[in-house]
Amino acid sequence: MAPNFKISVHQNDDELNLVMQGDFDGTSACELLNVLKNECNGIDTVVIETSGLKEIYPFGRDTFQNNLYILKSQPIRLVFTGNNATQIAPERSGFCQIL
């Protein structure tokens, strides 16, 4: 994991808010996927704030996007916000939205 990467997790009822900070590499992507997999029980919407990301490595983005299938069994909607949202969110996904 990038030494400066951090995810802050806040839950409000059926919404989970994740704020990422630092550099987003392959290990950071795996950490994000693990948080999504482990924290989404009973959650309808996950808001992922990306403005705190400094560097987004292509391998990190690809690792995240190529492994989103692990969430297919969970009925959640991912909402990406912030100035780096378009760099992280998958382009063609039925359960992702960019704001």
Domain boundaries, the chain: 6-98
pLDDT tens-place string over residues 14-51? 899 999 999 999 999 999 999 999 988 889 999 999 99
Say if CB 48 and CB 80 are below 8 A apart: yes
Specify the pTM. 0.89
Q: How far apart are CA 1 and CA 25, in angstroms?
A: 7
Q: What is the CATH number of domain 6-98?
A: 3.30.750.24
Strand order in the sheet with 6-12: 6-12, 15-24, 45-56, 77-81, 96-98
Q: How far apart are CA 84 and CA 35, in angstroms?
A: 19
Q: CA 96, 8, 59 angle in degrees (round to 5)?
A: 55
